[in-house]
A and B are shown apart, each in its own frame.
Chain A
Amino acid sequence: MRKDSHLGEFELIVTLALLRLGGNAYGVPIAREIEKSIGREVGVGSVYAALDRLEKKRLVSSTVGEPTLKRGGRAKRYFEVTSPGLRQIRETQRALIALWRGLPQLERGEA
């Protein structure tokens, strides 16, 4: 198994949020989507740090939008999951499901 064949927890959460939002997602909507799932506030800075890591690994790609006055002249950066990214999500999913199976403690719903 390659060293980087699975995503870390937060990276997985971010990529899943990207998939949920569709192609063109950017910082704040991604953070909101994550907040809805995990039930606590997420820093937009942390989301961008994770997206930067994922982009360096070529698991997500980004395009820059137009700058607007409301944003202080700063452009939005839209992200989407790439094909290698999707493959890695599947691998992580497979690994997690395999680990999940056959655990009586979890199946019985014990704490």
Chain B
Amino acid sequence: MRLSKPPALAAWLLEHLTPGDNHDALVGDLLEEFQHGRSAWWFWRQVLCAIPASLSHEIRAHRVARSVEFGLTWVWVDFVMFHLLPYLRAKLWVTAFEPHAPILWRFVLNPVTDHYPGEPWSVLILLPVLLAAYLSARDFNFLAFVCGLLVGVLAMLAIFPVIGILGRDLFALLAPPPQRSISRMEIGRGYIALPNTISVVVGIWAAKLITRRPQAVEILG
């Protein structure tokens, strides 16, 4: 039997942004109604109505649990971003430029820890992203999310030298003369939000992969 599929983006939003005990029932109901001939526009309306209803209900219903989870993750992120990475960077920075510093430190470890992504303003931008991550992770599992976030931070560390160094050099090359004197740290700040966001997004997806189950639309075939 060939079943018609609802709008992909709406189905994705429905699957990921409607937490709560009745998530499965809601997804099933909307898909069933769509199979019975409801329009794509109806499906979209229902999804857009369901998201705020589910999110606000979830926050109200699990205020304490959500706060604790959020706080724990925040402490963890804060530790990595503000303490661990700056510490490593400070340590490596000193040794990397010593005359007999090992090549590995000079060319690999030092660039990796060159910019620490711990600027308060950039992290503040991520608060809503983190909150969305909590609410969107189906079958939420704190350990899975922390593991995912760790994967995200590692991914960020892997790509950041490329973004940071190439981007900075490109910026210095393309920027008009007065901006060439802009400090290294100031330029670095411009790249901070991006890797932070990447780390969180990769983290969300890694957590989802750990706790993955088939999505309703995939089952439709």
Contact = CB atoms under 8 A, between A and B. Distances in A.
B3 A69 contact: yes
Interface residues of B, number: 36
Given A44-B46, A45-B46, A69-B1, A74 B24 contact: yes
Contacts of A49: 20, 22, 53-54, 56-57
A101 interface: no
Nearest to B38: A28
Interface string B48-78: 0111011011000100000000000000000
A52 B61 contact: yes
Contacts of B45: 41, 43
Contacts of B27: 71-72, 74
Given A48-B20, A49-B53, A52-B61, A27 B216 contact: no
Interface string A56-74: 1000000010011111111
B120 interface: no
Contacts of B26: 27, 44-45, 48
A26 B83 CA distance: 51
Contacts of B219: 69, 72-73
A93 interface: no
Contacts of A46: 49-50, 53
A93 B61 CA distance: 27
Interface in B1-55: 1, 3, 18, 20-22, 24-33, 35, 45-47, 49-51, 53-54
A28 to B, nearest CB: 5
Contact of A73 (B18, B49, B53, B214): B214
B220 interface: yes
B47 to A, nearest CB: 8
Contacts of B49: 43-46
A51 interface: yes
Contact of B28 (A41, A52, A56, A75): A75
25 contacts: A28-B32, A43-B49, A44-B26, A44-B29, A44-B30, A45-B49, A45-B54, A48-B20, A48-B53, A48-B54, A49-B22, A52-B22, A55-B21, A69-B220, A71-B27, A71-B29, A71-B31, A71-B32, A72-B31, A73-B216, A74-B25, A74-B216, A75-B24, A76-B25, A77-B22
Interface of A: 26-28, 41, 43-46, 48-49, 51-53, 55-56, 64, 67-77
